[in-house]
Structure 1
Amino acid sequence: MKKTVVVVHTGPVTIQPLKDQFKNLLPDVRMINIMDDSLLNDVMSAGHLTKDVTQRIYSYMKDAEDMKADMILNACSSVGEATDVVKNMVNVPIIKIDEAMADQASEIGSKIGVLATVKTTLEPTVRLVKKKALEKNKEITVIERIAEGAFQALLDGNGEKHDQILKDTIYDLMEQVDVVVLAQVSMARLVPSLGETKVPVLSSPKSGVETLKKALEQLNS
């Protein structure tokens, strides 16, 4: 019987990258997308995850359960910690898109650079990387970086400027760390254009969906 995965998005930019990964890795899985762009806007306005946003995340996860989902994929790092709160409140396993990436980063090196265009995504990603290192009893140093001006360029409709700011920031960060973590799904499309890099540059769509695939296979075993 065909498996169903409900993906919860906080904006349109994560939908296509994840559709592409599903097409490559999970072609026989039914993918249902739930998108509410007010979630990320509210987190950014407050500067942190709020009770109201967590409640709404729960309602979407509950909707996914009602849709008979076999798995739920949370597509946004900014609300990843809401997933931690609600995961025991629904009877469907929940995968976080960035968990595998954070785990991989903590294995690769002790100096980890985390890059985002917005603070509300940067901070939870940093906490997740530190949590993964702690689970391994590994001491790490995290260098946090906001790609200044990139998000505004995107809002202004200047995707080229956004991408160039990100690339420049990635190259600069590489000089200081063992591995670079791209905190937002939307950044993943830049990785192929970086060419051969001095240190690994990790993004979440592929590793997140690979984790989802393994979890779905375990359901069958």
Structure 2
Amino acid sequence: MTRTLTFLHTSPAHIAPFDRLLSEVAPAIPARHVVEESLLRDARALGLTPEVTRRIARTILDAVAGGAAVVLCTCSTIGGCAERVGQAAGHPVLRVDRAMAERAVAAGGRLLVAATLASTLTPTRELLLEAAARAGRAIAIDEALVEDAWARFERGDRAGYLHAIAARLRQGAPAADAIVLAQASMADAVALCPDLPVPVHSSPRPGIEAAIRAYRSAVQSISSC
């Protein structure tokens, strides 16, 4: 069985960007994409209820049964739950935003967390506080919800989505030491505001780099058994 780096997405829009990124960083690694849009929809509407958690777990275990050496969850709303499922089952499951959070807190200071979905704010805040505690760094967190952007994403208006985010980043940047983009889908907005006076942290590249390291370690472990 070919062991894959399997991506768990809650939107098919994430497939192409992560394929492109993987082809840049590690083109030899075989990838598989699993898309479960209902997980985000129900997590937003109901929260991470026991039933939603069971469905996340079932999706991950099915991916492992299908040959996933590592699962990378690209959805920030359910990422923490996915990570806990993997820990409980003994399988490598990564949330895409953990590596980003570790980089963001490295210097401490005031962080502005920008999101286009309210459901990502709390998990991102909790992740940053956890990473800061582990690193022994003091941080303060402000939040910016770009409320009109998500509807554009759902309509397929990617350009409008990114421009709305970029406009909000320009407003919030002066009060922050760094900006954290809570969702992987927001990453390309950075290119629209290259004049920002503070660093902007996004999750796709550090997340996929962490997943590649985990994949290589997992495959090596499997091969040595």
Count residues with an aligned counterpart.
Answer: 220
Aligned sequence identity (%)? 30
2:103 maps to 1:104 = yes
Letter in 1 for 2:217: Q
CA distance, structure 2, for counterparts of residue 132 and residue 49 of structure 1: 22
Structure 1 alignment gaps of length 5 or more: none
CA distance, structure 1, for counterparts of residue 3 and residue 193 of structure 2: 35
In the superposition, relative to structure 1, how do residues 99 and 155 fare at CA in structure 2: closer, same or farther (>3 Å)? same
CA distance, structure 2, for counterparts of residue 164 and residue 68 of structure 1: 38
In the superposition, relative to structure 1, how do residues 141 and 23 fare at CA in structure 2: closer, same or farther (>3 Å)? same
Letter in 2 for 1:44: R
CA distance, structure 1, for counterparts of residue 153 and residue 86 of structure 2: 32
Is the CA contact 2:2–2:67 (under 8 Å) kept in the aligned structure 1? no
Query: Offset at 1:70?
Result: 1.4
Q: Which residue of the partner structure matches residue 42 of structure 1?
A: 42
Give 1:21-36 correspondences, 5 Å limit: 21-36=21-36
Query: Offset at 1:207?
Result: 0.6
CA distance, structure 1, for counterparts of residue 81 and residue 197 of structure 2: 34
Is the CA contact 2:108–2:137 (under 8 Å) kept in the aligned structure 1? no
Is the CA contact 2:101–2:131 (under 8 Å) kept in the aligned structure 1? yes
CA distance, structure 1, for counterparts of residue 22 and residue 194 of structure 2: 24
CA distance, structure 2, for counterparts of residue 160 and residue 212 of structure 1: 28
In the superposition, relative to structure 1, how do residues 30 and 130 fare at CA in structure 2: closer, same or farther (>3 Å)? same
Query: Offset at 1:74?
Result: 1.0
CA distance, structure 1, for counterparts of residue 212 and residue 80 of structure 2: 22
Task: Please say which of residues 138-147 and 79-88 is displaced more in the overlay.
Answer: 79-88
Letter in 1 for 2:100: M
Q: Which residue of the partner structure matches residue 143 of structure 1?
A: 142
Q: 4+ residue runs of structure 1 moved beyond 6 angstroms?
A: none
Q: Which residue of the partner structure matches residue 91 of structure 2?
A: 92
Give 1:64-213 correspondences, 5 Å limit: 64-213=63-212
Is the CA contact 2:60–2:71 (under 8 Å) kept in the aligned structure 1? yes
CA distance, structure 2, for counterparts of residue 159 and residue 68 of structure 1: 32
CA distance, structure 2, for counterparts of residue 154 and residue 112 of structure 1: 25
1:33 alignment partner, SS class = strand
Query: Offset at 1:156?
Result: 4.6
Which string of whole-angstrom CA distances, capped at 9 and with x for unpartnered residues, describes residues 94-148 of structure 1? 1110000011111133101111011101211111011100112222100011012
In the superposition, relative to structure 1, how do residues 70 and 153 fare at CA in structure 2: closer, same or farther (>3 Å)? closer
CA distance, structure 2, for counterparts of residue 160 and residue 218 of structure 1: 38
Aligned-CA RMSD value: 1.9
